[in-house]
């Protein structure tokens, strides 16, 4: 089983961002958590980060030609307005779980709506870096038909 993890814009500067919302871990530390959990679950992960919408779209489209079992995506600010990423997620033919470190529903009103969530298998928000861990576990359960 292979899972693609996509980190969107500004996630490369975790550790510098508002700790109240994003915690104190760096992206490298978050990635280490993901890789450790993946190893425990016997899952291969490929981790990708980009600040560019087109790169994220291309990576999502790449899943159409490969053998991924699922995608975990934190689209960052693109969650709220990127119709192009939404369309790419909708085209993906494997489970896609949207994650956010902070609870977007407890934040500014413009962050309360994800236009990507309706085309995802599910959404996990507000558990800090553990949002990724929960999403990874969910994909494994989906692939094993436990959900």
pLDDT by residue (tens digit) across 28-38?
Answer: 999 999 999 99
**146 pLDDT above the threshold of 80:** no
- Residue 80: C-alpha distances to residues 16, 34, 49 (Å): 22, 25, 18
Domain that holds residue 90: 2-143
Q: Domain count for the chain, please give it.
A: 1
**42 pLDDT above the threshold of 80:** yes
CATH number assigned to the domain comprising residue 31: 3.40.50.9100
pLDDT band at 20 (very low <50, low <70, confident <90, very high): confident
- Residue 18's pLDDT is 82
Active-site residue, from 7, 22, 68, 78: 22
Residue 100 a catalytic site member: yes
Distance of CA 28 to the CA centre of its chain: 15
Residue 80 a catalytic site member: no
Cα atoms found within 13 Å of the Cα of residue 64, Cβ hemisphere only: 10
- Residue 61's pLDDT is 97
Active-site residue, from 7, 68, 78, 100: 100
């Amino acid at each position: 089983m292979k899972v693609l993890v996509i980190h969107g814009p500004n996630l490369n500067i975790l550790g510098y961002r508002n700790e109240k919302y994003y915690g104190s871990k760096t992206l490298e530390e978050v990635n280490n958590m993901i890789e450790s959990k993946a190893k425990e679950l016997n899952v291969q992960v490929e981790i990708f980060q980009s600040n560019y919408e087109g790169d994220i779209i291309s990576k999502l489209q790449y899943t159409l030609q490969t053998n991924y079992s699922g995608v975990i995506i934190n689209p960052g600010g693109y969650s709220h307005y990127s119709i192009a990423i939404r369309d790419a997620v909708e085209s993906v033919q494997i489970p896609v779980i949207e994650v956010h470190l902070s609870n977007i529903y407890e934040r500014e009103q413009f962050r309360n709506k994800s236009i990507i969530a309706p085309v995802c298998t599910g959404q996990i928000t507000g558990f800090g870096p553990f949002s990724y861990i929960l999403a990874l576990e969910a994909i494994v359960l989906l692939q094993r038909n436990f959900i």
